[in-house]
Amino acid sequence: MMPFLLRSEHQVISTGVPDYEVDLLVVDHYALDDKYEAGCRAWAKHILVIDDLADRRHDCDLLMDQTLGRSANDYKDLVPEHCDVMTGARYALLRPQFAEKREESLGRRKSAVGDIRKVLVMLGAGDKDNVTGLVLEALEGLAGSLDVDVIMGANAPHLELIKGLTQNSHHNINVYAGIEDVASLMASADLAIGAGGTASWERCCLGLPTLVIEIADNQRKIIQEIVARGAAISVGHYKDIVSEDIVKAVERLQNTPSIVAEMGIKAAGVSDGQGVARLVQRIETKGVICEF
């Protein structure tokens, strides 16, 4: 995150335990709990925890869990009584680019009426198990030609392999590595094949229908919730599927555009891209001034 922050307009200080008081400490780490947070009270006026597991105690003033279907009750015995708990996808922390593209994206989907011409493949920045390769192999089994955008991290271990796979494809495939403007590619896609992490809320904000693949255990609840709401269709855990499973799922959607159109509508109802503004408002009720 440091290179990204250094490119911003914020003053960035890289430090260990600070020898000065801070207004707000943000804790976002699965291995940290109330013991760590209590130890920070000496120099942090307020503590915000970002979590999505609800499996351990926290010593914090605010807690945000953007998991769809999560209830504040899930944290009742895990946080202090004074803690302000914010739950659900309405608090999804998305970059401004997604809210800015929302109207354009939703408008385009109304006129597209569920046709699939352009597919977005995005399975995490690292994708250490090369699930992207499995998806591209599956797409080769489809008849006809599609426009396919593949998004990967700049340091993804299989990046060069993926670029090689695209050379002889009968589809028009573009591979993007380490790009920042993800929203534009999502807005122009008719269907996404992606993982069940944070990108789920990005896709929903833009009403992008999705075939979702579970690539980590902590994605299971997210996937269950978005599938239950009709915002996505699950293909399964990447270890349990083969390329033919993906082929059949895509072909079904190609043959039933009404399902694709309905999925986009349901997805758009999950997240509107205003989660940051809502979180900032709640932070400021604690007396912390957030300047942007």
Taking residue 198's Cβ as centre, other Cβ atoms within 10 Å add up to 15
Instruction: For residues 223 and 105, state if they share a domain.
Output: yes
Q: What is the CATH number of the domain that holds 37?
A: 3.40.50.11190
Q: What is the mean pLDDT of residues 75-88?
A: 96
pLDDT band at 291 (very low <50, low <70, confident <90, very high): low
Strand pairing category for 44-50 and 172-177: unpaired
Instruction: For residues 146 and 201, state if they share a domain.
Output: yes
pLDDT tens sequence across 167-201: 889 999 999 999 989 999 999 999 999 999 889 99
Q: What is the mean pLDDT of residues 274-286?
A: 94
The pLDDT of residue 198 = 87
73: in domain? yes
Instruction: For residues 60 and 113, state if they share a domain.
Output: no
Nearest to 24, CA basis, from 275, 292, 277, 280? 280
The pLDDT of residue 227 = 97
166: in domain? yes
pLDDT tens sequence across 250-267: 999 999 999 999 999 999
Instruction: For residues 66 and 168, state if they share a domain.
Output: no
What token pair was written down for 267?
A: 């997805």
192: in domain? yes
The phi, psi pair for 72, rounded to 5°, reads: -60, -25
Instruction: For residues 32 and 169, state if they share a domain.
Output: no
Instruction: For residues 151 and 37, state if they share a domain.
Output: no
Taking residue 48's Cβ as centre, other Cβ atoms within 10 Å add up to 23
Instruction: For residues 67 and 150, state if they share a domain.
Output: no
Instruction: For residues 131 and 23, state if they share a domain.
Output: no
Q: What is the CATH number of the domain that holds 231?
A: 3.40.50.2000
Q: Domain range for residue 89? A: 2-93+273-284
Residue whose tokens read 């499996």: 55
58: in domain? yes
Strand partners, 147: 118, 172
Instruction: For residues 18 and 81, state if they share a domain.
Output: yes
What token pair was written down for 66?
A: 């953007």
49: in domain? yes
By three-state DSSP, how is residue 9 classified?
coil
pLDDT band at 247 (very low <50, low <70, confident <90, very high): very high
Question: Could you give the number of structural domains in the chain?
Answer: 2
- Scanning the chain, the segments in alpha helix (DSSP H) are 2-6, 34-39, 96-112, 131-139, 159-165, 182-188, 199-205, 220-228, 243-255, 257-268, 275-284
DSSP string across 201-229: HHHHHTT--EEEEE-SGGGHHHHHHHHHT
Instruction: For residues 74 and 151, state if they share a domain.
Output: no
Instruction: For residues 53 and 140, state if they share a domain.
Output: no
The pLDDT of residue 230 = 97
pLDDT tens sequence across 219-229: 998 999 999 99
234: in domain? yes
pLDDT band at 122 (very low <50, low <70, confident <90, very high): very high
Asked whether residue 29 carries a pLDDT value surpassing 60, the answer given is yes
290: in domain? no
Q: Are 65 and 51 in contact (CB under 8 A)?
A: yes
The pLDDT of residue 218 = 84
**What order of strands is seen across the sheet that includes strand 191-195?**
172-177, 147-152, 118-122, 191-195, 210-214, 233-237
